[in-house]
Amino acid sequence: MIWFIFRRFLGLILTLWIVFTLSFLLMHAVPGGPYSSERNLPPEILANIKEKYQLDRPWYEQYATQLGRAVTGDLGPSQKLLDYSVNDVIVQGLPVSATLGILALTFAITLGLSAGIVSGVYRGTAADVALMSLATIGIALPSFVIGGLSILLFVFTIPIFPAAGWGTLRQLVLPAVCLGAVYAAEIARISRTGMLDALSQDFVRTARAKGLSQHAVALRHALPTALLPVVSFLGPAVAGILTGSVVVERIFAIPGLGWHFVQAATQRDYTVSMGLVLLYTLLLYTMNFIVDLSYGILDPRVELK
């Protein structure tokens, strides 16, 4: 276990350095900069601004300076938001995005697992066909399409929820459902397949032969095995929720990291863009690490190497 954690920690350091380097090179290879659109600034003021943010230095000096700050946890000042550092942007936006992501993931796991278990246990019934048909439709529709349709239906046609904003429970429902619907559909398909495979195993036949009820067999014996592919999917699901939140937060005007990331990309705010890319990388790597540990707990046959 110690060697496994140590190797993953070294892999995290290497991954963050590679992502930092590629992000830096790609952003500085694009023509223009954060102040290219400031046409009304006098040349002297523009020169002072570039000197303050070290944009007048060669790219390798900028790289060394930003890498040194990133190693210490200081991601530098924002180049477009006055009196804000990248750390301030993360501190303000991360709780919002984390709340939205947790709600979306909870919705996806709850709805997807429930539908997958019911479909697997009652295979071939009308409930199975109906649930899997809805899951297929959910997989085919991206989150921004679901978001637009939800706004038309539940904001304008049936005014139940507000169209945008953040702060109340009613404002959380539509974004969380739109963000988690696609992953709920995929979890339903995966858990159904896992449940069908688990129900065909010898230990399940033995449990049935002992006279256990169908619900006890499904929930106590088949479900832990059926959860293994779902747990494996949680890593990509979290990645999709993080990247998908960029679109959903933009649609519903939610002041999370996704909204800041879009603003930083359009305004060429180098430091905010790189800081958020590094944060996303750290979160995804950590989630994959947790998934690997959970896999070993759910299935004792799995060895962590």
What count of Cα atoms within 13 Å lies in the side-chain half-sphere of residue 153? 8
Q: Phi then psi for 85, rounded to 5 degrees?
A: -100, 170
Which ranges constitute the DSSP H helices of the chain? 2-29, 43-52, 59-71, 86-121, 126-140, 143-151, 169-199, 202-209, 214-216, 223-251, 257-267, 270-298
pLDDT of residue 257: 82
50/134 same-domain check: no
Whether the CA torsion 268, 180, 101, 12 is positive or negative: it is negative
9/146 same-domain check: no
36/180 same-domain check: no
100/51 same-domain check: no
120/245 same-domain check: yes
144/219 same-domain check: yes
291/149 same-domain check: yes
Take residue 17 and report the two structure tokens written for it. 């350095």
Task: From 11, 41, 71, give the residue that closes a domain.
Answer: 71
17/92 same-domain check: no
Give Rg (Cα) of the chain. 24
> Considering the domain boundaries, does residue 76 fall inside one?
no
> Considering the domain boundaries, does residue 304 fall inside one?
no
pLDDT tens track, the chain, 305 positions: 677 778 888 888 998 899 889 888 887 777 666 656 555 656 665 566 666 666 667 777 878 888 888 888 888 778 777 777 888 888 888 888 888 888 888 898 889 888 888 888 888 888 888 988 888 888 888 877 888 888 888 888 888 888 877 878 888 888 888 888 888 888 888 888 888 887 777 777 777 777 777 777 776 767 777 777 887 787 777 777 776 677 888 888 888 888 788 778 777 777 888 888 888 888 878 877 777 777 666 666 656 65
> Considering the domain boundaries, does residue 224 fall inside one?
yes
Take residue 226 and report the two structure tokens written for it. 């059926």
Take residue 38 and report the two structure tokens written for it. 């400031």
14/132 same-domain check: no
> Considering the domain boundaries, does residue 273 fall inside one?
yes
117/67 same-domain check: no
pLDDT of residue 304: 60
61/92 same-domain check: no
**Structural domain tally of the chain?**
2
Contact indicator for 192, 116 with CB cutoff of 8 Å:
yes
The SS3 of residue 21 is helix
Contact indicator for 132, 188 with CB cutoff of 8 Å:
yes
pLDDT of residue 48: 63
61/93 same-domain check: no
Q: Phi then psi for 57, rounded to 5 degrees?
A: -90, 160
pLDDT of residue 8: 82
User: What residues make up the domain containing 260?
Assistant: 87-298
CATH value at residue 103: 1.10.3720.10
